Amino acid sequence: MSFCRISGQEIHFPFFVPELTFLGSRNTPQAKAGISFSSQELTLSRRATGWVAGAQRRVETWFARSGILLKVSGGCNVYIALGGQDLIPLKAGRPKKIITGRDREILLGPALVLALALRGTWCLHASAAMIGERLTVFLGESGAGKSTLAAYLVNNKASRWALVADDILPVTVSRKGLLAWPRFPQLKLPAQQQPGTSLPESLPVSRICVLVDDVGRAKPELKSIPSLQAAQVLLNHTAGTRLFDPGLLTDHLAFCAQAAKKAPMYQLPYTRQKAALPAIKQALERPC
């Protein structure tokens, strides 16, 4: 067994996962995690098709009393204990002994997102960067430029920005506000560039910017988004919701309503023209 603290949650795996080395994944003498369900008690909860491990795949969630079985076409099945604390890749109902790169992408992709959701931590499809103590989360449709913008802010000469997330950002709500949990494997980045390595376990989110396509506007200006619309944006930009059962969907809805009130959200007109990036950076560095 190995365990790893991911986004503030202890998660157990039946083997060492190299992609988690940067988080201090280590072996534990703890007893093997049990898989306690029979195929007869499984009921299909959700079926969806999405981009998983480099291809469009059908993903199903099957529920048992003790946990969830995630079935991914062309990949391994993963058992997720109901508390989200154990993730076990399976083959023919038994823990898989040889794990491929694709299995690890399933494990650290939809399976981990679902496990964290079961523990009340929701994963936004987002990039994020911070300047000083101000953390800005970028949301937008796939291909809208979230990663490009974050990379520009961070890699710019003499930049004071630091990367926090590139693809997935786990978040929770607390009495103080919306919290980001950046110690999460960003599968788009190599091990040495994982932003979570050098960041605190949690960070308060200062604001959320939604990238909207806006070709040709001279001055990018942040425009405030009202709470109802903000909650809808969060609902639409959370990873893995198509795998949630009704109970999780209800919890997630409540989270989005709360989160919309905890962190201000803005519309950021965004063009992918390189020449526009300095003005966007300037707009982001202006005090709100």
Partner 1 sequence: MLTLDAQLLIPKHVSFTLVEQDAILLNTRTNKYYALDEVGARLWGLLNEGKQLKDAYQMLLDEYEVKPARLEKDLLELIDHLVENGLVEVAEG
Query: Residue numbers of the site for partner 1 (CB under 8 A)?
Result: 227-228, 231-232, 235, 241-242, 246, 249-250, 253-254, 256-257, 260-261
Report the residue number, 212 or 254, with the smaller CB distance to partner 1: 254
Q: At its nearest, how many Å lie between partner 1 and the CB of residue 282?
A: 32
The vertex-167 CA angle with 165 and 115, nearest 5°, equals: 95
Select 195 or 240, whichever has its Cβ closest to partner 1.
240
Give whichever of 80 and 231 is closer to partner 1, judged by the CB atom: 231
- CA-to-CA distance for 137 and 147, rounded, in angstroms? 11
- Of 198 and 232, which CB lies nearer to partner 1 in the complex structure? 232
CA distance 76 to 138: 32
CB of 116 to partner 1, least distance (A): 19
CB of 125 to partner 1, least distance (A): 16
Task: Output the smallest distance, CB 144 to partner 1, in A.
Answer: 21
Q: How far is the CB of 198 from partner 1 (least distance, A)?
A: 36
Which is nearer to partner 1, 160 or 261 (by Cβ)?
261
- Min separation Cβ 247 and partner 1, Å: 8
Is 235 in contact with 203 (CB distance < 8 Å)? no
* Closer to partner 1 by Cβ: residue 186 or 238: 238
